[in-house]
Amino acid sequence: MADKANQDGKTFYFPVPAGTPYSIIAEAVNKFDVELADKEVNIPEMSDSPTMPKSWVIKGEKDQLIKAREHIIKKMEEMLEKFK
């Protein structure tokens, strides 16, 4: 699959919230045609470290990322409702 986010020279990222179940991430990635990737986290104290920590992000076209983000939030809220 071609990297659609780079077709117009812009790449947009949405950080995946910590604790998000992989099933919800996978559902959003497949449903909204975005890509799961890892991105280095910029932590000033670790600027001298040869390996920077990484975090999961989804990347893609801005409109699709917004939809994927809304989907993830909705699914997480539904999941949290079960604990009330």
Q: What is the pLDDT of residue 33?
A: 92
Q: What is the pLDDT of residue 68?
A: 96
Q: What is the pLDDT of residue 29?
A: 96
Look up residue 39 and give its DSSP letter.
E
Question: Would you list the domain boundaries of the chain?
Answer: 4-81
Q: Kindly give the confidence (pLDDT) of every residue in the chain, 84 residues in length, as a single tens digit, with 9 standing for 90 and above.
A: 344 444 555 889 999 988 899 999 999 999 999 999 998 877 777 666 667 778 899 999 999 999 999 999 999 999 999 888
Q: What is the pLDDT of residue 61?
A: 93
Contact between residue 79 and residue 21 where contact means Cβ atoms under 8 Å apart: yes
Burial 47-84 (b: 16+ CB within 10 A, else e): eeeeeeeeebbbbbbeebbebbbeebeebeeeeeeeee
Kindly report the CATH number that applies to the domain delimited by 4-81: 3.30.1370
Q: What is the pLDDT of residue 46?
A: 62
